[in-house]
A = this chain, B = another copy of it.
Amino acid sequence: MSGMNRRRITSKELAKLAGVSSATISRAFSPDSRIGSATRDRILAVAREHGYQPNAIARSLNNQRSRLVALVVNAIGNPCEAEEQQLLVHRLQARQLLPIILCCADHSDRLQLMRLASTYQVDHVVVFSDMVSMQDAVDIFHTTKPIIVSFEPLENEDVSSIRIDGSEAADEIIDKIVRDGKKRFAYLSGTNSSWIDKLRRKWFADALAKRGLSFEAQAFGDYSYDSGFKEAVLLLHRDKVDAIICGNDVMAIGARDAARRVLRKNTPDDIAIVGQDGIAMAAWDCNDLTTLSLDHVAFIDAVVELIERHDAEIEGPHSITLTCTARWGSTA
């Protein structure tokens, strides 16, 4: 009870204390097993008294079920993923699943990191990061079937995925900006060339093409405020663009600050700036960003749905498609 005892008590020891066998201890902690209710109550009482809890590691070894979930993410701090991570972690915890975070940004060997996690026999893997190739994830977690969350078209693979479609919303946004008289568009990528970045850019490029336009310039940042600021200065000054589509909201805020501070230009009159993700911060009064937004709750609902299907051992790779919406602010 008190914090005295260092060592954790085992089921066999508790068995001796309660005058039963260790099998009965185990049964006392398994909801639907044949055990007398009097015995169970007594065991639970003794267990509480001695601070006994079944060892999840040993249980996992026997069960072949660890109740661990690997979340492969770029970073924790970055708001664009953070809201989804937060939601998912809550949903997992409610199901008694524990998340193991794998941070891929700045990590020299992402593959080794994933291999390490895979040795822990995780039950599920959710890939948010665009810094790992899906094929690598599938190979490394090949025993874990359920792999997840992709923006890229994962053909013939035995993995479940969530596809995201923002083409319609991108079209709406481009429509508005073009009607406002903007003519020279730039795309500010989040990474040099990840599948998710390519896809997002394509949504807007298609919308432009439909109107006989295309991107006049393209820059590459790293999803950070600073890179948004720096690249926007170049785009505005050197390339004279009057509309910047950014790979995420944080860079868009940086770009807006650059326009305002360095070039003395204001949105949406002088230039248009568009973000992506629809993070909460984008709606703050000081930002008020126009952004291509994804419904985070629906997104995480989909992830949990896939996890549950997998748990229920419903066969075959599943796929869910979500569409983005335009969220209007004062920047475009």
Contacts and interface: CB of A to CB of B under 8 A. Distances in A.
A284 B225 CA distance: 8
Contacts of A157: 3
B96 A116 contact: yes
Contact of A3 (B51, B138, B253, B257): B138
A75 B3 CA distance: 27
User: How many chain copies?
Assistant: 2
A240 interface: no
Contact of A89 (B3, B103, B119, B281): B103
Interface string A103-134: 10011000001011111110000000000000
B3 A158 contact: yes
A191 B38 CA distance: 44
Nearest to A3: B142
A98 B100 contact: yes
Interface string A51-64: 10111111011000
A330 interface: no
Contact of A57 (B57, B75, B77): B57
Contacts of A281: 225
The interface size bin for chain A is: 35 or more
Contact of A119 (B54, B75, B100): B54
B61 A58 contact: yes
Contacts of A139: 2-3
A93 interface: yes
Interface string A201-213: 0000000000000
Nearest to A119: B56
B143 A6 contact: yes
B61 A57 contact: yes
A323 interface: no
A11 interface: no
Contacts of A260: 285-286
A8 B120 CA distance: 12
A102 B90 CA distance: 9
A116 to B, nearest CB: 6
A55 B119 contact: yes
Interface stretch (A14-22, A80-88, A300-308): A80-88
Contacts of A99: 100-101
A142 B51 contact: yes
Lowest 8 CB-CB distances: which A-B pairs, in order?
Answer: A77-B82, A56-B119, A257-B285, A77-B86, A76-B86, A3-B142, A8-B143, A56-B120
15 contacts: A5-B142, A5-B143, A56-B121, A57-B121, A58-B61, A77-B79, A90-B106, A93-B103, A98-B100, A98-B116, A98-B120, A225-B281, A229-B285, A253-B284, A257-B285
